[in-house]
Amino acid sequence: MGKKVLVADDDPGMIKILTHILEMEDCEVSSALDGEAALQGVREIQPDVLIIDMNMPKMDGLDVLRKLSGEQGTPVPAILLTAQDPEDLAGVLAGLPHVVHLEKPFELDKLLGVLQRLLG
């Protein structure tokens, strides 16, 4: 793929796993441990895809995605990872059409399929 992906999660273990998976898919991976770092990372790195956890310190994943949507003409495609029920997020995600929700724990094949679709 050769694309840039920013992984934002407050769990270093999850970042390590996702980084390994994404590097196997020939992605250039950067990471952030909180919402503010994720926001800054997107601005600096301009990734092709953002993989972001819902619950993080300083700013949650949805707040980051909302802020980015307001700043950019074409927001970065994103995968929102959360254990939260997708029905609880349906209304919020309707306003963020560039975001795909995946439940934790996620299936690797599903994550890679969504990633490939978002990367084009």
Residues β-bridged to residue 50: 6, 78
Residue 1 pLDDT more than 60? no
Global pTM reads: 0.92
How much is the average pLDDT of 96-111? 90
Between 20 and 89, the higher pLDDT residue: 20
Scanning the chain, the segments in alpha helix (DSSP H) are 12-24, 35-45, 61-71, 86-94, 108-119
Q: What is the CA radius of gyration of the chain?
A: 13
Q: How much is the pLDDT for 90? A: 72
Positive or negative: CA dihedral 107, 49, 8, 62: negative
How much is the average pLDDT of 91-110? 86
pLDDT tens profile 39-97: 999 999 999 999 999 999 999 999 999 898 876 656 799 999 988 776 777 777 777 88
